[in-house]
A and B are shown apart, each in its own frame.
Chain A
């Protein structure tokens, strides 16, 4: 009774990752959610979790091996009644009829389908070139020695280049497939700023709250009553999500942009959001995010607050259905109750998927966020 633990997909555009490190060894007892390995993807080093509970029977892949999404990484012996709780009744169901073939002791042959000459293969190995990425120019598309030499002289795409490629693919797909509509509203941020200043004055520096945190909380609260903006559009169907995994666009060192999610933000207080956001930023800098954070975001907030722009029209990250853009909180002339004065104002924008929601519900959603920000003490 073994279950194959396979390379998870850490994003719609991920094809493979390189195993960096095992955190488990044969004989270990693992339970669902445990971090079992670190893999290197286009997005950086990522902790991957296991979805099954049981005993590690065998590791099938050695570190430094590139593994396709869906290819087996380890065998987990299911323990139906003994060590695990009955909370995993699905495990036996995952086990199909007996598997006649013994599990491979090495990674599945990544290169099995590549036609390559022996000399080219030898040279590619010596130069540490991934032959999957080399275009074959020989007869019938065979990869020749010359192809390898040419590939070797080309600069290797850097991690940030490949991340750019991933983002490019996701953004192109978004604009190709998702009928966006855009709304925006100006939010009087003076109540929030006043409240924030007073509150932060009482707190030690490391616990002080960034101006974005009340906004995060306001989004979470607004989503609870407007569910058309939190979930995934897949296979022509919208599946709203009960959990709110709020993706936050964070700039990386070296220029990349990454959107990890604050998982289960629906249950977090302002203080928890503050701590978790700080933790997330630190781990982005360290390049240590886990797979769920990168793949399970249900909605995204992108803030150009430090960029000096007033408003933005963001692009939805598929398969999500909405993204909120926040501009700079800046003093602007604000007309209210018959007079004009200077107030800190934030322009919030919403880009949403018109297959799922419409301008009316979008306007409601934005209005609710705005209203929550008028009473920050209730957040």
Chain B
């Protein structure tokens, strides 16, 4: 099963089990979705529930908010995080606020799925990681499934939530193959996951960077460094306890984020570690982030701009004072 199929299965299950659920977005019906996530669903569920929309993110996101307010359970697909900026007003000013402004009378149980991240040579206007921005906004939840299990579980969990939920699906993961494990039904959207236990350093990450961190941890293990890998899974609200427990154990933290460093989610995590774990730290918190440039198109430059395994390994070795 691929990550893409895991999401499709989750959507299919939701469509089958709850008549209020419907999908909306650009080219999700006839074309099957720009990343082919919704392929086949139009034939299976019909135009009423798999709705192609005009090229107006603001309009169809707003329509989703309206439908949610009216009691439906809409799942809106926005092709990339970059395009979601056209719907920023709807998400930040409406979806995130209405429940709070109405004293709880008008919850907005809207799910928005967004492609995010680089690695597919889609250039700067399709490759940026804005999930850290959204994690700044109270009133919404921000999820970042990295594994097949989470891709299978999170859409359903998001639909059960009365808050607006944004699911950031890394476009580099859609083709990832893997087995669904038996534990996927136990997944939640409250907790980060320790994907690898370690004692010397905590690699804190999410999304596609998880696999770079796991690879880096393998390389570090050969050099005698035992790295723990934390998959945040949920960027808002952040699971402080899991992060802090890991840092208190390893005394070192490296945050790996495909977003930019300045003002990013990596900065927020580093600040929280500084606030709560200062006296447990044996080294300054290190961040490995995307270079502060619009993501380039050429493959070699795109690769150079993004966090890579070698850089993660080198950062850990630097902070531990061990030569590569």
Hey, which bits of chain A sit against chain B, CB under 8 A? 117-122, 137-139, 142, 144-146
Contacts and interface: CB of A to CB of B under 8 A. Distances in A.
Contacts of B224: none
A333 to B, nearest CB: 70
Contacts of B278: 118
B243 to A, nearest CB: 16
Contacts of B321: 137-139, 142, 144
B318 A144 contact: no
B319 A144 contact: no
Contacts of A117: 251, 281-283
A246 to B, nearest CB: 53
A132 B178 CA distance: 53
A151 to B, nearest CB: 14
Contacts of A146: 282
Interface in B208-231: none
Given A119-B251, A145-B251, A139 B282 contact: no
Given A118-B280, A118-B281, A139 B251 contact: no
Contact of B318 (A119, A120, A139): A139
Nearest to A144: B282
Nearest to B247: A119
A146 B319 CA distance: 13
Nearest to A136: B321
A137 B320 CA distance: 9
Question: Which range holds the interface residue count of chain B?
Answer: 10 to 19
A142 B321 CA distance: 9
Given A119-B251, A139-B318, A139-B319, A144 B283 contact: yes
Contacts of B320: 138-139
Interface string B270-283: 00000000111111
B158 to A, nearest CB: 38
B318 A145 contact: no
B286 to A, nearest CB: 11
B318 to A, nearest CB: 6
Given A117-B281, A138-B282, A139-B320, 13 more contacts: A117-B283, A118-B278, A118-B280, A118-B281, A119-B251, A119-B279, A119-B281, A121-B279, A122-B279, A138-B320, A138-B321, A139-B318, A145-B251
A118, A120, A122, A138: most-surrounded residue (chain B CB, <10 A)? A118
Interface string B307-324: 000000000001111000
Given A119-B251, A145-B251, A138 B283 contact: yes
A117 B284 CA distance: 8
A122 B279 CA distance: 6
17 contacts: A117-B281, A117-B282, A117-B283, A118-B279, A118-B280, A118-B281, A118-B282, A120-B282, A122-B280, A138-B282, A139-B318, A139-B319, A142-B283, A144-B282, A144-B321, A145-B282, A146-B282
Nearest to B319: A139
Nearest to A117: B282
B253 to A, nearest CB: 12
Contacts of B283: 117, 138-139, 142, 144
Nearest to A116: B282
B21 to A, nearest CB: 49
Contact of B280 (A119, A137, A138, A139): A119
B278, B279, B282, B319: most-surrounded residue (chain A CB, <10 A)? B282
B317 to A, nearest CB: 10
Nearest to B248: A119
Contacts of A145: 251, 282
A144 to B, nearest CB: 5
Contacts of B319: 139
A117 B278 CA distance: 9
A146 to B, nearest CB: 8
A118 B282 CA distance: 6
A119 B253 CA distance: 13
Contacts of B251: 117, 119, 145
Nearest first, the 8 A-B pairs at minimum CB distance are A119-B282, A145-B282, A117-B282, A139-B321, A122-B279, A138-B321, A118-B279, A119-B251
A144 B250 CA distance: 12
B280, B281, B283: most-surrounded residue (chain A CB, <10 A)? B283
Interface in B255-312: 278-283
A121 B283 CA distance: 12
Contacts of A137: 321
A230 to B, nearest CB: 54
A120 B281 CA distance: 8
Contacts of A142: 283, 321
A145 B320 CA distance: 11
A107 B235 CA distance: 46
A7 B278 CA distance: 34
A376 B318 CA distance: 75
Nearest to A120: B282
B116 to A, nearest CB: 34
B310 to A, nearest CB: 19
A139 B280 CA distance: 17
A120 B278 CA distance: 11
A139 B314 CA distance: 13
Nearest to A143: B282
B278, B281, B320, B321: most-surrounded residue (chain A CB, <10 A)? B321
A98 B318 CA distance: 48
A142 B318 CA distance: 12
A143 to B, nearest CB: 10
Nearest to B317: A139
A267 B266 CA distance: 77
